[in-house]
């Protein structure tokens, strides 16, 4: 008989967690019927349940904004995150991504010098103030692009890495597709207004998180408060990100401005939480990412970003549910060289919940049956659903912590018979 078109059958394991710091597991196995209802009905039902569970975000004076708990991989607040907008100099996040990638694969190196073309020299807007008589090291061009938001530095890097600005822009668009930035189109490397040069707050969050994840050795450039290249104006040495001067926990990322885009900022901050790990260690850090687009002034974008970050750190608390590489269950594998496989995450599983509600958490592991070999290490094989007072907070993909190859022909045949009987 065909499956009912309104439901699917999943196998679930539920673990009740009255105390998230010293969890007591009571596993229960049962069949879960997942209803395929219209999205509007599901959303209306969920929103009604969740309204009292989710802290209300403060008023943010921006056309679009987004706050993400990077550590928990959760959205905490959002407004018009899929509305296309001009990114202005936030474009340089993608330019930096490609430059960092070229450094990683050793296509270029930090000490290598790039020439300054007439095109780069004549770039309007924010500048590093380099000229065609100079051969500038890549490291200085990166600082000029990030700290001074130099359009001239960005163009010199684009021409140096891409050969031509046009080819570099094609590389930017190709990379956006790879990262899953579905609503982004680049027309230039620096972010000056040009028809069709657009992005969204959601896409910027994807880019910013991948930038920090993929290039931890280079994101320190974004925390530099002051920089200028020798021989250039001393007054042009201060990072446009005012939060670097105001909040010691802020360590990036980028600002942007054009008349059409307004004042924009992607900001990130990391603060210690004792329940995540020993204070002062990387494990104890909780990172938030805020994005504001279309604010009215340089001060406004800093103030609204700070408001979002502070609210996120205070209104939500992080709860560490499982350690990195901790096996949450041994899942049955059919037709494999091994009969079971360990399932978990390579990194600790942390969730962000409303302040004071950690004791209401329950977790549920949902896995589709049967799981057939071969299974690759890192392959998604299950989901962890985290709920607070019965309302789903987040869904975390669970991965195979090891690989299982196929069994021999007789092993596969025997399991095929068992599955048929089952």
Tokens at residue 341, please?
């496989």
Whether 89 sits among the annotated catalytic residues: the reply is yes
Whether 337 sits among the annotated catalytic residues: the reply is no
Whether 92 sits among the annotated catalytic residues: the reply is yes
Query: Which of these, 56, 72, 53, lies nearest to 354 by C-alpha position?
Result: 53
Residue of 64, 92, 95, 320 with catalytic role: 92
Residue of 64, 89, 290, 305 with catalytic role: 89
Residue of 64, 95, 126, 149 with catalytic role: 149
Which residue numbers are catalytic? 89, 92, 149
């Amino acid at each position: 008989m065909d499956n009912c078109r309104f439901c699917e059958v999943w196998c679930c394991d539920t673990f009740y967690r009255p105390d998230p710091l010293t969890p007591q597991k009571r596993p229960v196995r049962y069949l879960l019927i997942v209803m395929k209802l219209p999205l509007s009905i599901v959303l209306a039902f969920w929103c009604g349940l969740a309204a009292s569970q989710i802290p209300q975000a403060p008023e943010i004076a921006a056309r679009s904004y987004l706050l993400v708990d990077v550590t928990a991989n959760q959205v905490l607040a959002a407004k018009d995150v899929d509305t296309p907008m001009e990114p202005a100099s936030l474009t340089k996040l993608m330019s930096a991504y490609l430059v960092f990638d070229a450094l990683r694969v050793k296509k270029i190196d930090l000490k290598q010098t790039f020439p300054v073309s007439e095109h780069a020299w004549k770039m309007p807007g924010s500048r590093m103030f380099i000229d065609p008589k100079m051969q500038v090291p890549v490291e200085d061009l990166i600082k000029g692009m990030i700290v001074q938001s130099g359009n001239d530095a960005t163009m010199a890097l684009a021409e140096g890495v891409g050969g031509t600005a046009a080819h570099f822009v094609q590389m930017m668009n190709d990379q956006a597709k790879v990262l899953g930035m579905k609503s982004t189109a680049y027309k230039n490397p620096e972010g000056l207004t040009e028809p069709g040069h657009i992005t969204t707050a959601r896409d910027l969050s994807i880019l910013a998180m991948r930038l920090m994840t993929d290039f931890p050795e280079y994101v320190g450039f974004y925390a530099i408060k002051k920089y200028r290249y020798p021989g250039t104006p001393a007054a042009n040495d201060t990072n446009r990100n005012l939060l670097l001067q105001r909040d010691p926990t802020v360590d990036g990322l980028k600002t942007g401005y054009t008349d059409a885009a307004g004042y924009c900022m992607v900001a990130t901050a990391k603060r210690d939480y004792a329940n995540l790990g020993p204070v002062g260690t990387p494990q104890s850090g909780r990172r938030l990412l805020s994005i504001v687009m279309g604010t009215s002034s340089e001060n406004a974008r800093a103030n609204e970003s700070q408001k979002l970050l502070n609210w996120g750190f205070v209104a939500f608390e992080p709860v560490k549910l499982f350690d990195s590489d901790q096996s949450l269950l041994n899942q049955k594998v059919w037709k494999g060289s091994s009969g079971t496989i360990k399932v978990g995450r390579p990194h600790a599983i942390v969730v962000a919940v409303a302040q004071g509600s950690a004791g209401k958490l329950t977790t549920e592991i949902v896995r589709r049956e049967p799981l057939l070999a071969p299974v690759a290490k890192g392959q998604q094989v299950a989901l962890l659903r985290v709920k607070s007072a019965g309302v789903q907070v987040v869904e975390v993909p669970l991965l195979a912590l090891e690989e299982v190859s196929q069994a021999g022909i007789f092993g596969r045949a025997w399991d095929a018979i068992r599955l048929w009987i089952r």
